[in-house]
Amino acid sequence: MRILVVDDSRTITAVFGARLVEIGHEVVIAENGQIAVERFQVSAPDLVLMDIEMPVMNGFEAAKQIRAVEATQEWAWTPIIFLTASDTPEHLITAIEAGGDDFIPKSAPEGVVQAKMKAMARIASLRAELSLANRKLAAQASQDGLTGLVNRRYMDLRLDQQWSEAIRCGAPFGLLMMDVDHFKQFNDHYGHLAGDDCLRAIAATLLKMVEEVNARRMARDAFVARYGGEEFAMMLPRCAGEAVAEIARATVDAVRRQGIPHARNAEWGVITLSVGGAHMSRAEGALSPLFRRADANLYGAKKNGRNRVEVG
């Protein structure tokens, strides 16, 4: 384990640190509670061993701040054990209320320290496994099973956050709604398995487009989602109006250049995309009008010949 040892006594940190290193653990030292909180965020320890009475910030306050840091992270919890010369009931109650989990007397025999560390190592291992399992479940819940893009549910959650941030900063915001042209006819002609392959190929192209947009800083934290069926949506936070139109045109061109044969698309002979875009130079109010504008522009793009862009 990586263990953060917090004590203002160099003698205590040296003694405990040496004992922990000797039984195979990595040790990070902090001289007081304030430094402990800072090093906790950098070193991500598996366990915190912390004195109670220290200058600058005591152990109870440091424990509260560590728990506050963890509250901003998913699946985060790190055992905190207080090092103490006094294990009074009052200290125990205060420690638990502050977010601590246990006590170890500074004078504890070697065998007791080793037993505690073995128990904490088991907890750290189980915590890591649980955290990984929870992240996998969260990823599955947010991902479209066919294309690998984020799904509509995750899109709504992330978009709400981005929209709120754009309003707070008075930043521009762009949105593209995309629909595969004549996709029902494609499925009827080639079969649904070929249709699935087609959607996956388009999704890969859209993902590359988003990566390029972010790399070129045309938008900030842009992402693309499968909106439903053969529809996709691309979110473009902090994207200028002219850039929204440029991205839309580049996306249409990229999908057409894939050259996926489509015998029922009489004009082009390949899979094409229609895109409707909407933009606000300064985000404000509700998000729904932006979606309605983009959807109306998508309808216009399809009505006016498909394989084209309408942005406004």
Catalytic residues: 230
Backbone angles phi, psi at 251, to 5 degrees: -65, -45
Strands 47-51 and 2-6 turn out to be parallel
Instruction: Report the C-alpha gap between 251 and 236 in whole angstroms.
Output: 13
Contact 109, 115 (CB under 8 A): no
Tokens found for residue 43: 């070193």
Q: Residue 284: CB partners within 8 Å, gap ≥ 6?
A: 167
Instruction: Report the C-alpha gap between 59 and 57 in whole angstroms.
Output: 7
Contact 236, 173 (CB under 8 A): yes
Contact 49, 26 (CB under 8 A): no
